[in-house]
Amino acid sequence: MSGMCQLKALSLAKELGISSFKASRGWLSRFFNRNGLGFRRKTTIAQWLPGDYEEKIVNFHCYVINLHRKQSYILLEQSTDQTPVYFEMLLDNTVNRKEEFSIMIRTGGSEEQRCTVMLCVTGDGQKLPHYITFKRKTILKICGWTLNL
């Protein structure tokens, strides 16, 4: 977190034409003390969902399903790995005034939602297209498709 603050200070100094500015850890510490700032941990998560978030989710799912229907997959000897990808990555720390006891971080409301991405490589080293899975709801019916199992 301190590195991000130092990079921001360096970019602001560059914009102002200050070439001798270093943004050292000592400078950052003194800047925080002068302004009553400190690194704080979140205590509250506030949700603020956009009005059309459901439509955006459906459109994204339809887009991914369309891409999947256009691909043709070949079964080969392969090595795979799965990793979760969260739709919203929350930081645990933020910069805030030291005297404040409740630290609220505003979110989009999807900090628990995720998809799983599977990466795959064949025995001869060919990378296959990534495979994305979502928790299934009625998304196929919304898009007007049926799933043949």
Q: How far is CA 31 from CA 13, 47, 126, 128, in A?
A: 14, 31, 52, 50
Residues 89 and 54 in one domain: yes
Q: Give burial (CB, 10 Å; 0-12/13-18/19+) of 101.
A: exposed
Residue-wise pLDDT tens digits, 32-86: 889 888 877 776 666 677 778 888 888 887 877 777 677 754 444 557 778 887 7
Confidence (pTM): 0.36
**Of 141 and 95, more confident:** 95
Q: How far apart are CA 110 and CA 89, in angstroms?
A: 9
Residues 109 and 61 in one domain: yes
Q: How far apart are CA 98 and CA 37, in angstroms?
A: 6
Nearest Cα residue to 141 out of 72, 61, 67, 51? 61
**Of 66 and 129, more confident:** 129
Residue 112 lies in a domain: yes
- For position 76, what pLDDT does the model report? 47
Residues 133 and 75 in one domain: yes
Count of domains for the chain: 2
